[in-house]
Amino acid sequence: MTLYIGREASKLWKRICAETTTEVNLLLDNWKYLLAGLIFQYIHGLAARGVHYLHQPGPTLQDLGFILLPELGQDKAYISETVFTFIFLSFVLWTFHPFIMKSKKIYTVLVWCRVLAFLVASQMLRIITFYSTQLPGPNYHCREGSKLARLPKPESVLEVLLINFPRGVIYGCGDLIFSSHMIFTLVFVLTYQKYGTRRFIKQFAWLVAIIQSFLIVASRKHYTVDVVVAWYTVNLVVFFIDKKLPELPDRSNGSSPLLLPLSTKDKDSKTKEENHKLLNGNSIDPADWRPRTQVNGKTLEDANGIHVDTAMNGA
């Protein structure tokens, strides 16, 4: 038993070392994209902090979700945050599973480059929306009479730049018309939908995303429109950006090389080159040459000789 555990531990350590070497090489090639994505997360938080200074509390807008869903109350607001934390941590752990699992389909660095691209595009749209129109926040700390509903004018630029993390993010107001929690949730679920391998986990992830949507509205953290906009916008953003990015190499067969696939432009140029060679009479692969027989001025392609004999007899 001890020998078996020692052998498995040795295999696991070798797997971790090999995967670390691979991921470090990828990180050296893609660190700029990861850094840019992480910096934009700070910019997104800074923008949310800035719009809080512009927030004007007022009567809560009429909302169908508020009418249909029972209000959880301020003391149960932690439920939606708990569900979001579960989604976030589960996805992060899944992206690092190639370090310890035998079945590998993704590269951690490449997946996070893709995820950050989706997040940045969605968050840019979110910043544009909540700076275009400021709405009175429906959350409890954003209502009239709350000390956190209005932020006093900052005494220095440093006060704004520090954004009072994480309290300033949790108790923000004014960053509406687009739910930040739903951006992260949908990006994570869509990513696992494409690169995950467990069907029941995919179905469970979509169910949790739907539950999270209802909890956000029931907790009065966002209006229903914020959740609805996030649902169709994030799906569109992921769809169009995913088409522009090169496809990730599939590791499920265990023999894929550590090379990024060709971009769409490279594929187009390669196709044009092949067509040019064919037009000039130069075949791409000699194995694709087929015997051709000319009968009555017509060129017949033959794979097994039967059609040629028939044509000759008819002639």
Mean pLDDT computed over 52-57: 90
Residue 174 in contact with residue 130, Cβ under 8 Å? yes
pLDDT value of position 168: 63
Q: How confident is the model at residue 183 (pLDDT cuts 50, 70, 90)?
A: very high
Contacts for 23 with CB less than 8 Å, ≥ 6 apart: 98, 99, 107, 108, 109
pLDDT value of position 292: 44
260, part of any domain:
no
231, part of any domain:
yes
What is the C-alpha to C-alpha distance for residues 138 and 225, in angstroms, rounded to an integer? Answer: 12
Q: How confident is the model at residue 231 (pLDDT cuts 50, 70, 90)?
A: very high
Q: What is the DSSP string of 96-119?
A: TGGGT-S-----HHHHHHHHHHHH
Q: Which of 44, 52, 55, 181 is catalytic?
A: 181
pLDDT value of position 99: 85
Residue 105 in contact with residue 195, Cβ under 8 Å? yes
- Return the bridge partners of 201, or none: none
pLDDT over 90 percentage in the chain: 44
Mean pLDDT computed over 77-96: 93
257, part of any domain:
no
CA distances from 217 to 67, 68, 165, 182, 185 (A): 10, 10, 24, 11, 15
Q: Measuring CA to CA, which residue among 281, 283, 310 is closest to residue 295?
A: 310
Average predicted confidence (pLDDT) for the chain:
80
Look at the chain and report how many structural domains it folds into: 1
- Return the bridge partners of 294, or none: 299
Q: Measuring CA to CA, which residue among 43, 245, 190 is closest to residue 126?
A: 43
Q: Which of 226, 242, 288, 309 is catalytic?
A: 226
Asked about 226 being catalytic, the answer comes back as yes
275, part of any domain:
no
pTM over 0.85: no
pLDDT value of position 268: 56
Mean pLDDT computed over 183-209: 94
**Secondary element (H or E) of residue 218:** helix 199-218
Print the SS3 string covering 223-283. Answer: CHHHHHHHHHHHHHHHHHHHHHCCCCCCCCCCCCCCCCCCCHHHHHHHHHHHHHHHHCCCC
Most confident of 93-97, 99-103, 233-237, 264-268: 233-237
pLDDT value of position 101: 79
Q: Tell me which residue range forms the domain holding 209.
A: 31-244
CA distances from 74 to 20, 112, 136, 191, 221 (A): 44, 34, 18, 32, 10
Most confident of 100-109, 135-144, 201-210, 257-266: 201-210
Q: How confident is the model at residue 272 (pLDDT cuts 50, 70, 90)?
A: low
229, part of any domain:
yes
pLDDT value of position 276: 52
Mean pLDDT computed over 74-80: 87
Token pair belonging to 204: 């469970």
Q: How confident is the model at residue 174 (pLDDT cuts 50, 70, 90)?
A: confident
Asked about 307 being catalytic, the answer comes back as no
Q: How far is CA 11 from the centre of its chain?
A: 32
120, part of any domain:
yes
Mean pLDDT computed over 59-76: 90
Residue 211 has pLDDT above 90, yes or no: yes
270, part of any domain:
no
190, part of any domain:
yes
Asked about 181 being catalytic, the answer comes back as yes
Residue 214 has pLDDT above 50, yes or no: yes
Residue 212 in contact with residue 84, Cβ under 8 Å? yes
Q: Region of 299 please: left (phi>0), alpha (psi -120 to 50) or beta.
A: beta
Of 114-118, 125-129, 153-157, 211-215, the one with minimum mean pLDDT is: 153-157
